[in-house]
Structure 1
C-alpha cells in the first residue's frame, strides 16, 4: 500500500511540473509583419530632400523626431505604415507629393539569460534562430538544456511566454531563458 501511495504521489508531482511549465509557442511571430518599438534605428529617405533624409532612433516614448514635422509616432507601426504617416505629415504644408521610404537600419536588441556562457544583451541579426542566439551568447553552459528554451515576447502590446525549439525564430526585443537540464 505504501509503495502504491508513493508511486501515485510521484506521478502527481511529475504531472504538476509538466502542467506548470510554459506551453510551446507556435512561433507567433512567423507570419506577422515586424512592428517598430523603442530601440529600433530607422533610415528615412525623403526622395529629393537630402535635408530630411537621415537615420532616426525610436525613443523610449515610441516616437522619432524629424526636421520640419517634429515627433512622429512609430511604436507598433510597420515600416509601410510609418512611411504613410511621414508622407501625410510632410504633405501638410511642406511638400506637395513627398515620396518617403523607411527601412530598419538596426533592430532593437534581444536578451538571453540562464545557462549560457555569456548572458546579456545582444544585437539582433535578421532571421535569427534560438540556436544562433545561443551561439552569439557563447554557447550553452555545461548544465544547459539543449532541447528548448523559454521565451518572453511582446506582440501587439501583449506579453506572451512559452517555449521555443532550437530551430524557431527569435524576434528583436525577445528575452530568452536557457533552462538548466535535470540530468
Structure 2
C-alpha cells in the first residue's frame, strides 16, 4: 500500500511538470489561410514601400516607415502611416499632391519589404529574420535551423507586434506568422 501511494505521488508530481498550458488556441484567424496577415496588412515601423507618382520620377522612390510610424516624402514631408493599408496611404498621398502640387496625380504604393519576425527559445539559431508572404510557424522554425533536442513540439507562443502579451498556439502546418511577430518555443522537461 505504501508503494502504491508513493507511485501516485510520483505520478502527480510528474504531471505537474507538463509544459503544455491549459489555454492553447487551436482555431481562429491564424489558422485560416485567407484572413488577417498580409491580405489585410497594415503598415508599421520597419516596412519598406515603393511609391510611384506617374510622370514624376523625382517624387517616386523607395521609402521606409520610420520608428515613429511615418514616411518622409518629397514635397509632403512626414506622413503618419502606421496602422493604415497601403491602398489608403496611396489615396492620401494622391489627395495631398492634388492640393496645390500636381494636377490630377496618379499614385501607387506597394510594399516591397515587410518588417521582420523574431524567433527565440528552443530553436538552433534564434534571432531576427526577414518576413516572407505566407510564412507559417513551421517555416519560421525551419528558417531558424529547426528545433533543439529539448524543444516543446506541440505548442508555440506568439506575441503580435505591438502587443504586450503572448498567446499559446497549437503548432500545426497551417499556423500563420505575421510581420513583426515574436515566436517563442518552450522547453519540454520529459
TM-score range normalised by the length of the shorter chain: 0.7 to 0.9
Any gaps of 5 or more consecutive residues in structure 1?
A: none
Distance 2:163 2:119 in 1: 20
Distance 2:172 2:89 in 1: 33
Match of 2:74 in 1: 67
Within the candidate set 100, 104, 112, 1:97 is matched to 104
Normalised by the length of structure 2, the TM-score is: 0.82
Query: By how many angstroms is 1:83 displaced?
Result: 0.7
Distance 1:21 1:79 in 2: 38
Report how many residues are paired. Answer: 177
Any gaps of 5 or more consecutive residues in structure 2?
A: none
Larger fraction in strand: 1
Match of 1:122 in 2: 129
| SS of aligned partner of 1:80 | helix
Could you tell me whether the CA contact under 8 Å between 2:159 and 2:166 is conserved in 1?
yes
Match of 1:139 in 2: 146
Distance 1:36 1:26 in 2: 25
Structure 1 consecutive aligned stretches of length 4 or more whose deviation exceeds 6 Å: none
Distance 1:106 1:145 in 2: 31
- Between the two structures, name the one with larger relative contact order (CA 8 Å, sep ≥ 6): 2
The within-5 A match list for 1:22-41 is 22-24=23-25, 26-28=27-29, 30=32, 31-32=35-36, 33-41=40-48
Residue-by-residue CA offset, 1:70-103 (whole Å, 9 max, x unaligned): 1111100011111111111111111121111111
Match of 1:173 in 2: 180
What is the CA RMSD across the aligned residues, in angstroms?
2.6
Normalised by the length of structure 1, the TM-score is: 0.85
| SS of aligned partner of 1:111 | strand
Match of 2:62 in 1: 55
